[in-house]
Homo-oligomer: A and B are copies of this chain.
Amino acid sequence: MVSRLRDQASWLLSRAHLRAHGVLQEAFAAAGSRPYHYRILAVLEEFGPLSQAELGRRAGIDPSDVTTSLDALGSLGFAAREADPLDRRRKRIRLTDAGRDELLRLDAVLGAVQKRFLAPLNSAEQAEFLRLIARLSDEPGPSRP
C-alpha cells in the first residue's frame, strides 16, 4: 500500500471505477451487448422517440458515437431510424418492441452487476455511498470553455 495514494479520492475513485467498469464490460459482453446500447435504449424508453442529437445529450454520448451505436442497434432490430417530417436534417429514433425486450433483459444484467459491485458494503452503507457519490457526480466537469 502506498501511503501517499491511499487516502486520495481520485486514486480510490480510479480503482473503484476500474473494477466497476471491468465487471460491467464483462457482464454486458457476456450478454452480447454494450453499456452504450443500454444507455441509448434506456433513454428511448423513458423519453420516447428523439432525434440523434437529443438522444446523445440525454445519454451523455457523443453524437458521432450515437451514429455508430445506432448502426448496431438498428441492424439488431432494437431501434429504428425514421425521417422527421418537421425537420429534414433530423432522424427520429424509435424503440422497437424487440428493443424494449432487450432493455428488460439488460436491466437484469445491470442489476446483477450493481449487486456484485456493492457487495462489500451492507445495505445502509450502500445507500449512503450512492447518496454521496451522486452529489459528487452531479458537479460540473472540469472547465471546458
Contact = CB atoms under 8 A, between A and B. Distances in A.
A98 interface: no
Nearest to A144: B22
SS class of chain A's interface: helix, strand, loop or mixed? helix
A31 interface: no
Contacts of A113: 10
B141 A46 contact: no
A19 B139 contact: yes
A59 B17 contact: no
Contacts of A130: 7, 9, 12
Interface string A1-32: 01111111110111111111111111000000
- What band does the interface of chain A fall in when counting residues whose beta carbon is under 8 Å from B? 35 or more
A3 B139 contact: no
B136 A22 contact: no
A22 B10 CA distance: 10
Most buried by B among A42, A128, A132: A132
Contacts of A9: 20, 114, 117-118, 126, 129-130, 133
A142 B13 contact: no
A86 interface: no
A121 interface: yes
Interface of A: 2-10, 12-26, 39, 42-43, 45-46, 58-60, 107, 110, 113-114, 117-121, 125-126, 128-130, 132-143
